[in-house]
Amino acid sequence: MIIKDEAIALRTYPYGNTSQIIVWLSQTHGKIATLAKGSQRTRSGLLGQYDLFYTCEVLFYAREQRNLHILKKCCPLVPRVALRHDWRACAVASYAASAVDQLAPFGPAMSGLYDLLARTLDSLAGRTPGPAFLPRFELLLLHELGLAPDWRACAKCRQDLRERGGRWDVAHGALRCVECAEDSGLEVSAAALRAIETMQGEALPAALPERVFREIQSLAGSLLEHQADCSTVARTLAFQVLAAG
Ligand SMILES: [Zn+2]
């Protein structure tokens, strides 16, 4: 079956001497891998038609029994050229794409995930964002993948935590009030929970106090690490790059 979709290239790697495998996040079919046979030959119609962070229209032959489909045609729609010239934006984009790659399973995904990655790469190609950009991306990513807790209320008694703060149980991925947590878990301030709520909305918070920023950074980090052994090297680099701006 031949399928047409729109997809963002997350990762490419060589296959044999002249072929490549491309892992995509597609709009309709979620994360997929395609084999681009002979794509590195000079006369291949696929040569130069895709690269990391490109959004492409892809035409692939779906092999139902296997995870690796055959890429037939590919046409770049949004190449995001600026990411090739700005190493800082490129480092952050690399981290964003690798986090999606590591956390999203193959197969259909929520369409919100595709939109989130497209928006994130578009912003990075437009300008280098401030430090709050990354933890916000991580929080939205965890939310889209169903891996984030409800940041507003205690997981056990449901009381609102936005005024009192709570305690974070990494092993169970649960946020609880002080009473329900019975002294276990890491303390999470009310300020951090309110900032997280703002970050999950449309706009970035104007400025985060350093202490709150660090708290959110470590909260998101512990979730990512717990869920997916997400590459901490790429994450550390991405945070350093934006902090230096
Ligand atoms: Zn409680």
Residues 6+ apart with CB under 8 A from 169: 175, 176, 181, 184, 185
222 Cα: distance to centroid of ligand 1 (angstroms): 21
Residues 95 and 167 in one domain: yes
Terminal-to-terminal C-alpha distance of the chain: 48
215 Cα: distance to centroid of ligand 1 (angstroms): 21
Residues 87 and 73 in one domain: no
- Residue 53, SS3? coil
Please give the DSSP secondary-structure letter assigned to residue 107.
B
Q: Tens digits of per-residue pLDDT, 184-206?
A: 888 999 999 999 998 887 777 66
Looking up residue 141, the CATH number of its domain turns out to be 1.20.1440.120
66 Cα: distance to centroid of ligand 1 (angstroms): 46
Q: Tens digits of per-residue pLDDT, 9-53?
A: 999 999 999 999 999 999 999 999 999 999 999 999 999 999 999
Q: What distance in Å separates the CA atoms of residue 36 and residue 197, rounded to the nearest whole number?
A: 42
Residues 129 and 180 in one domain: yes
Residue 242: what pLDDT? 80
Residue 69: what pLDDT? 94
Higher pLDDT, 244 or 227: 227
| Cβ(159)–Cβ(153) below 8 Å | yes
| Cβ(55)–Cβ(62) below 8 Å | no
181 Cα: distance to centroid of ligand 1 (angstroms): 7
Q: What distance in Å separates the CA atoms of residue 231 and residue 228, rounded to the nearest whole number?
A: 9
Q: What distance in Å separates the CA atoms of residue 128 and residue 83, rounded to the nearest whole number?
A: 10
Boundary residue ending a domain (79, 96, 129):
79
Looking up residue 27, the CATH number of its domain turns out to be 2.40.50.140
Residues 187 and 138 in one domain: yes
- Residue 58, SS3? strand
Boundary residue ending a domain (19, 53, 79):
79
Residues 43 and 141 in one domain: no
Residues 89 and 58 in one domain: no
Residues 67 and 101 in one domain: no
Angle, to 10 degrees, between the axis of helix 111-126 and the axis of helix 133-144?
A: 170
Number of domains, the chain? 2
